[in-house]
Amino acid sequence: MADFKETVSTLLESVDIQVNGTRPFDIQVHNKLFYSRVLSGKSLGLGESYMDGWWDCEALDQFCYQMLWGRIDKQIKIKNPAFLLHVLRAYFLNAQSKKRAYIVGKEHYDTGNDLFALMLDQRMIYSCGYWDGANNLDQAQVNKLDLVCRKLHLKAGMKVLEIGSGWGGFAKYAAENYGVSVHGVTVSKEQMEYAQESCKGLDTLFELKDYRDLYGTYDAIVSIGMFEHVGYKNYRDYMQVARRCLDDNGLFLLHTIGRNTPSRSTDPWTNKYIFPNGMIPSPAQISKSAQGLFVIEDWHNFGQDYDPTLMAWNENFQKNYDGLKDKYDERFKRMWEYYLLMCAGTFRSRRNQLWQLVLSKKGLKGGYSYQNAHRLNP
């Protein structure tokens, strides 16, 4: 047991984190079994032991940043058979198959609209905000929505497909401000019903449908925060669906979290508790899936903006938790704050990115830009 403690303490000290130290990003250990659990389970052991109250940290986001910036994860050797089985399962099994596509909708997005309503901005946008010129979450999300509309060259009368429509925030904004018709699809029943109610009276349609079942022709396609649920075995299929549904002169905007290097598995703790079957793509995986189908007109990285977005979500969650505690217990609270704050640390450390790609079928004559907007009320 002493060897386990010494090993973990030494690893943490290598990235300037102290066990039972006094700084906000130092950890306070309450259970001596913490050390062996982390060494055997790596990220799963770290996350589950936090959920169980075995350790605390005043600044989880900075704790994560310290670890990732110092690349502590590369120093821990995995000896847990369960983790190795998880990696092998991801390699041989299509965890994001059509049959399994609705799992994340039921287990994450159907957690409860009450939770997300108290955590997100007033438009219920569950993706990275664009903080250029913004000083609050609501403005950052409006900035992002308008940026997407401008990048797609939206104008009145256009027909838009949204793959992964969430609670209808983009559809409502685009319909109200750019006069477009939006067809949104999602794998979450609660999201679909919320979007239908929120967008009443607008030219919108929302369906519970897998992207592989999409047909028809659209002037523009947008996908915000959905590609992370597609999986590397299906990236090419996803791009083929987008191509067949896009008008020859249309634009497709893909907004996704990204990682710096390819992977065929996801973080075990995140997979188990937050996003089952999720997978973050790399630049090589995205470009390979689009090769021969699209011209990449623009590739924009504003991953640094996910840090303040996640911190704002956590602030809202903590501030409003008293109104949720009858439904969500203390272990859920610790799980959710761990998810939000550790994710903030991954973006702060630049381990994760946020990309917006604009793609066309054959390339735009004269090149691409998005400076001129066609808002109904400029």
CA separation for the pair 59, 205 (Å, rounded):
42
Return the number of other C-beta atoms located less than 10 Å from residue 137's C-beta. 23
Q: Which two tokens stand for residue 221?
A: 């396609």
Could you say which of 64, 128, 245, 343 is catalytic? 343
CA separation for the pair 206, 190 (Å, rounded):
12
Task: List all residues 6 or more positions away from 61 whose beta carbon is below 8 Å from its beta carbon.
Answer: 307, 310, 311, 341, 342, 344, 345, 348
Among 108, 144, 125, which Cα is nearest to 253's? 144
CA separation for the pair 137, 343 (Å, rounded):
17
SS3 of residue 277 by DSSP? coil
Return the number of other C-beta atoms located less than 10 Å from residue 154's C-beta. 25
Active site residue 343: yes
Among 330, 256, 322, which Cα is nearest to 287's? 256
Task: List all residues 6 or more positions away from 135 whose beta carbon is below 8 Å from its beta carbon.
Answer: none
CB-CB contact of 301 with 347 (8 Å): no
Instruction: Catalogue the active-site residues.
Output: 343
